[in-house]
Amino acid sequence: MNRINERLIFLKLFLENPKEIGSITPSSRFLLDAMVSKIDFETAKCIVEYGPGTGSITRILLNKSRKDCNIVVFEKNKKLADYLKKRFSDRRLVVVNSNAESSQKYLERFKIKADYVVCSIPLALLDKKQKIKILATAKNILNDEGLYVSYLYLFSLNALKESKAYMKNLNCDFIFLNLPPAIVLSSKNIL
C-alpha cells in the first residue's frame, strides 16, 4: 500500500467521523519510530495495539517482532478493520473489530497478558469517562513489567496535564516532524 492511497483512505474516514479518526493523515515515520523505539522486540511475546487505523504501526510491529510474538489489534471502525485484514496476512496478527475496552475480555479468554499496549486512539478528543475506561483496560491487560505507549498532538497540552494525572513516571518525547507535531507518552504505571 503506498502512502498516497493510505492518506486518501485516512482523509476520507476523517471527514466521515473526525472524532473517531483524530487526524487527517497517518502518523509520520518520525512519530512511528519514536513510538516503537519504546518496545524491546527481542523479549516481547504479546503486543496489543488500540486504534491501528490503516496499519502504519502494525506494519512496523510485524516487521520487528519475533516469530512467536502475538500482535492483537483492536479497531472499532469496521472499514479499517476489514482493510487491515486484507492488508496483512501474518499468522501472528489478530485483527479484532471492536473497541479497546473489549481487549481485557479477549486476552483473558486466551489467558495472556500484554507486554506492551500501543495506543493510537485520539484520547484528547474523548470524554473523561471513556478515557479512564481505556486506560484502566490497558492497565489490566499489561503484565507486571508492561509498558503503555501513546501519543498526543502538541495542540492538546491540556491533555498532557491530564495524562500526567493518570500516568506516574511518565516519559514524554516531543516529535516536531509530524503533522501536527506530537508528544509520545510512555509509562509502566498508569492509573
Residue-wise pLDDT tens digits, 50-94: 999 889 999 999 999 999 999 999 999 998 999 999 999 999 999
Highest mean pLDDT among 8-12, 32-36, 180-184: 32-36
Average pLDDT of the chain, as a whole number: 89
Res 153 pLDDT > 90: no
- Give the length of the chain: 191
Query: b/e string for 9-28 if b means 16 or more Cβ within 10 A?
Result: bbeebbeeeeebbbbeebbb
Provide the number of structural domains found in the chain: 1
Q: How confident is the model at residue 164 (pLDDT cuts 50, 70, 90)?
A: confident
Q: How confident is the model at residue 21 (pLDDT cuts 50, 70, 90)?
A: low
CATH code of the domain containing 74: 3.40.50.150
Quote the longest CA-to-CA distance of the chain.
40
Cβ atoms of residues 70 and 141 within 8 Å: no
Q: What are the CA-CA distances from residue 31 to residues 174, 176, 181, 187 (Å)?
A: 9, 9, 9, 17
Please report the pLDDT score of residue 12 as a whole number: 73
Domain of 99 in residue numbering reads as 3-190
Smallest Cα–Cα separation from 70: which of 98, 26, 110? 110
